[in-house]
Copies of this chain bind each other. A is one copy, B any other.
Amino acid sequence: MVKVGVIGAGGRMGVAVCNAINNDSELELVAGIDPARAGSEIELNNASVTLSHKAELSALVEAGADVAVDFTHLEVALTNAEYCAANGIHMVIGTSGFKDDEIAKLDSLFNSSNCVVVPNFSISAVLLKHLSKIAAPFFETAEVIELHHDGKKDAPSGTAIDLATAIDEAGSDWAQDPTEVEILPSSRGAKVGSVPIHAVRMRGMVGHQEVIMGEVGQTLTLRQDSYDRSSFMPGVVLACKKVGSSEGVSLGLESFLGLE
């Protein structure tokens, strides 16, 4: 059993992570850190376990955690990383936005234990990008449609830009956009190289990405749908299991999925 502690255990994502770990047969939830909720019980859906929120990172060492999962914010995560690295605890960081020098700092910290920084825990999203890169060289046109709930304030999504960039680079011979007359502006989307991104904002939806690629007489469509926050859980569980045997600091789930 891999012993796991969760930093930021009290938010909605944190509670979901605690439950996912608690319900996996190879993982054991041993600590939940959330200073604001210290002393109150973690809401686990498995009646046989009770665990209360702790205020201090030292609870990780006390509980004998092998791995710490961090769902806080960038700056907090960097501070937490110092503690984990100093105490030989592997770390799974679910925060995005790390810059090169911050990754370098993590590199310098993690010597006796390992760390993985995961911008996207959705296995289907990671696969979508991986498969799209394999397919891209065989097609002459490719477009990305990303669809999100209508509470999302930025467009297009960072994940879609990353995806379109990867597709554009993986292809070698993209056809030119045939559009000569724009009857209405912007209908052809935002282009990343030769790959347009179309962003749909739709009440009721959650998070969805579609890649369409075309050749003479045929198209290939790859689509990933996330229906709720639980879509991140299989990736979190996987990362907790694999971080111990990766070395130093890794980026993304790709290597843990055997996709590199």
Interface size on A, residues (CB 8 A): 79
Which DSSP category, helix, strand, loop or mixed, fits chain A's interface? mixed
Kindly identify, within residues 121 to 137 of chain A, every residue whose CB is under 8 Å from any CB belonging to chain B.
122-125, 127-128, 130-131, 134-135
CB contacts (< 8 Å) of A182 on chain B: these are 154-155
Give A93 Cβ to nearest chain B Cβ, in Å: 21
Copies in the complex: 4
Across the interface, do A204 and B219 meet the contact criterion of CB distance under 8 Å? yes
Known A154-B179, A178-B153, A186-B186: A217·B227 in contact at CB below 8 Å: yes
Give the complex CA separation of A187 and B160 in angstroms: 11
CB contacts (< 8 Å) of A152 on chain B: these are 178-179
Known A204-B214, A221-B222: A138·B178 in contact at CB below 8 Å: no
Chain A residues proximal to chain B, CB less than 8 Å? 122-125, 127-128, 130-131, 134-135, 138-141, 143, 145, 147, 150-156, 158, 161, 175, 177-192, 196-206, 212-234, 257, 259
